[in-house]
Amino acid sequence: MVPKAASRADIELKAKEAAKRAEDDKRAADAAKKRQDELASEKLNAKVKAQAQKEEQAKLAEAERLRREQDELARKAAEASASAQGKLLAAYADKIRAKVRRFIVEPPGGVPASAMAEFDVVLIPGGDVLSIKLRKSSGNTLYDEAVERAILRAQPLPIPPEPQQFAQFRTLILQIRPQE
């Protein structure tokens, strides 16, 4: 009977060991499955995060492209406006010179064609002259004085009607040459 008892104890021991191994195997399988699920979840999260980052970069790139496009359009519009503004200002400066020339009484003996008198003229709205200052003499005092008198007699000087444009004419550097 001793062999049966040993055999029964062995069987119980083996059964316990088998149950323990099965339990350990089950725990290991559960841990492996849990780890595999965690890895799959991490991989999915990384993929979602990468996609979101890619979309964000695409949005930023598109926003930058639109900003550059708008800057370029604004620059072109400013250039066109400045060009038109420059042409308008040049046209009014020519009108002022033409009106002043009509009032110049040249001194006796004439003035060389190369003579040029340059004046700083401060205007008020409406085209009236607030002040005149000789900036650069023509070399002929009589001619310089004749131009100064002509500027005063030519009042009101033609100026742009828009206040923003007049602001550029408030202080005017006026160069007058003898009749061309």
Most confidently modeled range among 3-12, 16-25, 83-92, 112-121: 112-121
> Over the chain, what is the mean pLDDT?
84
Total domains, the chain: 1
Q: Classify the C-alpha dihedral 94-95-99-102 as positive or negative.
A: positive
* Integer Cα distance of 25 and 28 in angstroms: 5
Task: Pick the range with the lowest mean pLDDT from 9-13, 60-64, 144-148.
Answer: 9-13
CATH number at residue 7: 3.30.1150.10
- The whole-number average pLDDT for the span 1-6 is 53
Taking the mean position of all CA atoms in its chain, how far away is CA 28? 63
Token code pair at residue 9: 């104890």
* Integer Cα distance of 102 and 98 in angstroms: 7
What would you report as the CA-atom Rg of the chain, rounded to the nearest whole angstrom?
Answer: 47
**CA distances for 85 relative to 6, 120, 125, 165, angstroms:** 114, 21, 19, 8
Please, which pLDDT band fits residue 135 given cuts at 50, 70 and 90? very high
Q: Is the pLDDT of residue 133 over 90?
A: yes
Domain encompassing residue 130: 1-180
Token code pair at residue 104: 């110049």
Q: What pLDDT shows up at residue 6?
A: 63
Q: What pLDDT shows up at residue 3?
A: 52
